[in-house]
């Protein structure tokens, strides 16, 4: 799967893109730095109307705007403001600096606190599910007419 890197690991800046055209729409500061590169899976549409979100579990520096090939390894269930907003967890294909294990505590800490500076924002983390759940989720989110990027 191809993932568009929207936010860099270690950054407190959340880049906002039109997820279909990939055009930059702005930025905002977040309360916690991203623990891993974060973006979205191209040619998908999730339940919230955005592309399927993805954390790339790597120690390799990736830059905003890069499109990288990844392998899904798990699914983190998440509810944001009462709506499903699950996250695919993926490894960078051919990664020479992979993360050894799925960092459940680190990801949970990040997502439950990243937007705590926004009054009324509600985020809850559910279960961490296996690769089959991630593949099923991605299948359900697949757009009818891929762009071919």
Q: What pTM value is reported for the model?
A: 0.92
Burial 118-145 (b: 16+ CB within 10 A, else e): eeeeebebeebbeeebbeebbeebeeee
User: What is the token pair recorded at 126?
Assistant: 């559910």
Q: Among candidates 85, 2, 84, which has minimal Cα distance to 40?
A: 2
Does residue 149 register a pLDDT over 80? no
pLDDT in tens, 18-69: 999 999 999 999 989 999 999 999 999 999 899 999 999 999 999 999 999 9
What pLDDT band is residue 147 in, cutting at 50, 70 and 90?
Answer: low
Judged by DSSP in three states, 84 sits in strand
Give the pLDDT confidence score for residue 114 in this predicted structure: 85
Domains of the chain: 2-141 (3.90.80.10)
pLDDT in tens, 79-93: 988 888 999 999 999
């Amino acid at each position: 799967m191809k993932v568009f890197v929207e936010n860099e690991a270690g950054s407190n800046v959340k880049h906002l893109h039109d997820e279909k055209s990939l055009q930059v729409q702005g930025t905002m500061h977040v309360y916690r730095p991203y623990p891993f590169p974060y973006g979205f899976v191209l040619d998908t549409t999730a339940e919230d109307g955005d592309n399927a979100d993805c954390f790339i579990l790597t120690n390799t520096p990736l830059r905003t705007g890069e499109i990288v090939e990844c392998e899904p390894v798990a699914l983190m269930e998440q509810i944001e403001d009462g709506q499903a907003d699950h996250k695919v967890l993926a490894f960078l294909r051919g990664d020479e600096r992979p993360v050894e294990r799925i960092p459940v505590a680190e990801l949970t800490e990040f997502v439950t606190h990243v937007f705590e500076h926004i009054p009324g924002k509600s985020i809850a983390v559910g279960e961490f599910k296996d690769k089959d759940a991630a593949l099923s989720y991605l299948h359900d989110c697949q757009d009818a007419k891929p762009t071919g990027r």
